[in-house]
A and B are shown apart, each in its own frame.
Chain A
Amino acid sequence: MPLQNRLKEFRAAQGLNQQELGSLVGASRQTISLIERGDYNPSVTLALRIAQVFHRPVEEVFYLTGEELP
């Protein structure tokens, strides 16, 4: 099942651009862009770091297609 995410939505809500989010989680801007487009599935570590920045549980940021949003 493909992994979906709400990264763009949460990032916009926090007023962060890709570069800023990347710096906060230790990833490049390109990687944030790839994750947002669904072209790259992040490692557990990176997914947890991203969720931490948004102060949300990881399953709220990343979810599998077909699953209902929490």
Chain B
Amino acid sequence: MKEAKKKSPARIYLTFAAMIIVCGLIGGTASYAAISNQLSMQDLSQWANQMLSAPGPWWFTPGLLLLAGSTGFYFRGKRLIPQALGDDEAFSQANLTLCRSMFLCNLSMVFLFLALALSYSASWGIGWSILLLILQIIWMTTIQARIVSATKQISPEKLGNIFDLKFYRDWYESCDEAEQQQIAQCGYQTFKVMTTIFPGIMVILAMGTILGMIAPAYSLLVGGLWLVQQFVYNYTAIQMDKKRG
């Protein structure tokens, strides 16, 4: 296991100060450029919205491509199952391939929702958008169920039905100590990344709102999500500390 490197406090404060200065400079330059060029921020915002909605049903392409990749990994993983039942090396390979399949499938879900929002704001291809939406939902649900079923074949101790709302709880409870620790590490990694991303997004949104490019509701939405993340993490930590105390 890696040992944490000790940074000197001076370096930590310097990095923090440099980050604040750089952010300030970027913000200041952007504002100055916007004002000096006499850009109409409302027009820019309108133009951006039009550009985003222009591809219409084509927004479903990334999600569908990811699903195709996921399906490819699924079939590759499935072919390894008979061998994986007896051979330890093949088991690791099959498990990894199915994990990759689920990874692409989960990414595809995000693109589905993005496509849902962006393609329906287009002035064309609504019929195609509906068709592709239905196709992606059916394909995604089917492949998710098949991946879980294949994983259960090589790890019969795993519990949970993908169509059950308590799936994640059942799956987690059927994991042993190493797998639960792995899930916790993944969760922490996500928290760390999001804690870095949220302030940046909030600064960009605040600047956009000040310049009249972005509606204040977006700041409220992202701020709300950040609040939920901070609350859940810290509340859970306090509850666990209480139990230990």
Listed in ascending order, the chain A residues whose CB lies under 8 Å from chain B are 2, 17-19, 26-31, 33-35, 40-43, 46
Is there an interface contact between A29 and B155, defined as CB atoms closer than 8 Å? yes
**Residues of B contacting A27 in the complex (Cβ-Cβ under 8 angstroms):** 176-178
Stretch at the interface among B74-82, B86-94, B195-203: B86-94
Is there an interface contact between B178 and A30, defined as CB atoms closer than 8 Å? yes
What residue in chain B is nearest A18 (Cβ atoms)?
Answer: B88
- Is residue B181 contacting chain A, with contact meaning CB distance below 8 A? yes
Q: When A2-B1, A17-B86, A40-B181 are in contact, do A31 and B91 touch as well, CB less than 8 Å?
A: no
Is there an interface contact between B88 and A28, defined as CB atoms closer than 8 Å? no
Interface bits B84-109 vs A (CB < 8 Å: 1, else 0) = 01101001100100000000000000
Once bound together, how far apart are the Cα atoms of A35 and B157, in whole Å? 18
Q: When A17-B88, A41-B1 are in contact, do A30 and B155 touch as well, CB less than 8 Å?
A: yes
Interface size on B, residues (CB 8 A): 16
Distance from B36 Cβ to chain A, minimum over Cβ atoms (Å): 56
What residue in chain A is nearest B178 (Cβ atoms)?
Answer: A31
Distance from B99 Cβ to chain A, minimum over Cβ atoms (Å): 10
- Is residue B175 contacting chain A, with contact meaning CB distance below 8 A? yes
Q: List 12 A-B contacts (CB under 8 A).
A: A17-B86, A19-B91, A27-B177, A28-B179, A29-B88, A31-B176, A31-B177, A31-B178, A31-B179, A33-B88, A35-B178, A42-B178
**Residues of A contacting B181 in the complex (Cβ-Cβ under 8 angstroms):** 40
**Residues of B contacting A19 in the complex (Cβ-Cβ under 8 angstroms):** 85, 91
Is there an interface contact between B155 and A42, defined as CB atoms closer than 8 Å? no
Q: When A2-B1, A17-B86, A41-B1 are in contact, do A29 and B91 touch as well, CB less than 8 Å?
A: yes
What residue in chain B is nearest A34 (Cβ atoms)?
Answer: B178
Once bound together, how far apart are the Cα atoms of A38 and B1, in whole Å? 9
User: Can you list the 5 inter-chain pairs with the closest CB atoms, starting with the nearest?
Assistant: A31-B178, A40-B178, A27-B176, A18-B88, A28-B176
Once bound together, how far apart are the Cα atoms of A34 and B92, in whole Å? 10
Distance from A33 Cβ to chain B, minimum over Cβ atoms (Å): 6
Q: Which of B86, B155, B177 contacts A46 (CB 8 A)?
A: B177
Is there an interface contact between A28 and B86, defined as CB atoms closer than 8 Å? no
**Residues of A contacting B176 in the complex (Cβ-Cβ under 8 angstroms):** 26-28, 31
**Residues of B contacting A31 in the complex (Cβ-Cβ under 8 angstroms):** 176-179
Once bound together, how far apart are the Cα atoms of A47 and B116, in whole Å? 50
Distance from A32 Cβ to chain B, minimum over Cβ atoms (Å): 8
Once bound together, how far apart are the Cα atoms of A29 and B88, in whole Å? 8
Once bound together, how far apart are the Cα atoms of A43 and B80, in whole Å? 31
**Residues of A contacting B177 in the complex (Cβ-Cβ under 8 angstroms):** 27, 31, 42-43, 46
What residue in chain A is nearest B157 (Cβ atoms)?
Answer: A28
Once bound together, how far apart are the Cα atoms of A28 and B179, in whole Å? 8
